[in-house]
Amino acid sequence: MIDIERLAIECGPVRLKTISIVRVHIPLVEPFRISSGAVDVKDALLVRVSEGDAFGWGEASAMPGSFYSAETPESCQQELIDHLVPHLLGKEFDSIVGLNACLDQLSSNRFARTAIETACWELLARRQGVSLRELFRFPNRPIASGLAVGLYATEAELISAIHRYWADGYQRLKIKIKRGQDISLVQAVRHEFGDIPLFVDANADYSRDDFKVFQALDDYGLTMFEQPLAREDLDGAALLQKQVRTPICLDEGIETADDARRAIALGSCRIVNIKLQRVGGFLEALRISRVCEDKGIGLWVGTMPELGVGSAAALVLACHPGFTFPTDVEPSRRWYVDDVIAPEITVSGGWISLPKGPGLGYEVDSKKLARYGVRRWEFTA
């Protein structure tokens, strides 16, 4: 098991000498719909921290509106520009543990914090001339990629979208459900695609009055029910888990290692989806992983989805040996007309291989930043 605090301290001090931020807009290939709305452009903030020749990139990738969290691209921009950067610029921390303790005090916006925190980890790896995967001592292994498909107006559109993407080769399929669009969707997918590895993500749309939906879904051999109930209803999730055989996976409900401890003690889940964006970066992600591994809870890496910078960080986390379910990281072209990294993320036969190279392994393409950047900021201590 990885002792992340010790590793962080061994990596030495973190200095935030220069911080550059670019807000980018990249059109989506098709609108993304979940239980609470739809978007057609990826709006993200990319953060570059540097110290001497070493640098690292991070991404703040909240969804607009009230899709997934209270944070939005706008609130992340405000938090970074008006609050976090003025506090952090020119500061030196003994280690990234110290940086995280400071971020804990400064901000509850984990998406903005993730951009800074993950950028600093990449900087530490580049300073040592190693990949971030090597820095974390994760095995070099191909990552199983899963297809995630949003809600569509009709079942026919859903089936046709799955056909369109499934042909590219994935290790499993996840579909979104919401109240009134659930059992029939699963029936339709099972009818069309047979016994493929399949599960549903409810994005917290159901209440304790809806257990019968999940009892019915229990007969479809799904790998998990992702976030069936409201994020704070861990007791409800524990009640539901007692009534269904299918493992419950928590996503929105787990933001910290303490949340994971509480959920596991209550019996609220058997699987946890860790998103770097939701938990504030690698340090907390690896703390949560340790709690879960310790209790035999399954793990996988989820996405917002992010652009290439955030996705590359997610792929590094997915190399952790405790992450045994396929990740939601998909090829760049699955969601975006273009990406900001080179090479782009590609999937072959359902597997993603991290490129060799320092840091994240992927480089940010400055021409793409120029093309898709809508605002830029530069800060030097």
Residue numbers of the site for Mg ion (CB under 5 A)?
Answer: 201, 226, 251
Cβ 350 to Mg ion shortest distance, Å: 20
For every residue of 189-206, DSSP letters joined together read: HHHHH-S--EEEE-TT-B
Cβ 227 to Mg ion shortest distance, Å: 5
Mark whether 42 is an active-site residue: no
Which of 251/365 has CB closer to Mg ion? 251
Whole-Å CA distances, 315 to 261, 275, 365, 374: 24, 11, 19, 27
Mark whether 295 is an active-site residue: no
Q: What is the 3-state secondary structure (H, E, C) of 202-231?
A: CCCCECHHHHHHHHHHHHHCCCCEECCECC
> For residues 179 and 158, what is the distance between their CA atoms, to the nearest angstrom?
16
Cβ 272 to Mg ion shortest distance, Å: 11
Q: Which helix or strand (DSSP H or E) is residue 71 part of?
A: none
Which of 72/203 has CB closer to Mg ion? 203
Catalytic residue (one of 42, 174, 176, 178): 176
Whole-Å CA distances, 337 to 25, 26, 155, 340, 358: 11, 7, 25, 11, 26
Best CA proximity match to 181, nearest among 219, 143, 150: 150
Omega before residue 343 within 30° of 0, cis: yes
Residue, CB closest to Mg ion: 251
Cβ 247 to Mg ion shortest distance, Å: 14
Asked whether the beta carbons of 49 and 16 are under 8 A apart, the reply is yes
| Number of separate helices (H) and strands (E) present in the chain | 16, 17
> For residues 292 and 1, what is the distance between their CA atoms, to the nearest angstrom?
11
- Residue 51 Cα to chain centre, angstroms: 27
Which of 207/366 has CB closer to Mg ion? 207
Which of 251/259 has CB closer to Mg ion? 251
Going by their DSSP bridges, the two strands 173-176 and 147-149 should be labelled as parallel
Cβ 189 to Mg ion shortest distance, Å: 17
> For residues 340 and 282, what is the distance between their CA atoms, to the nearest angstrom?
21
Cβ 287 to Mg ion shortest distance, Å: 20
Catalytic residue (one of 42, 174, 178, 275): 275
> For residues 79 and 89, what is the distance between their CA atoms, to the nearest angstrom?
14
Active-site residue numbers?
176, 275
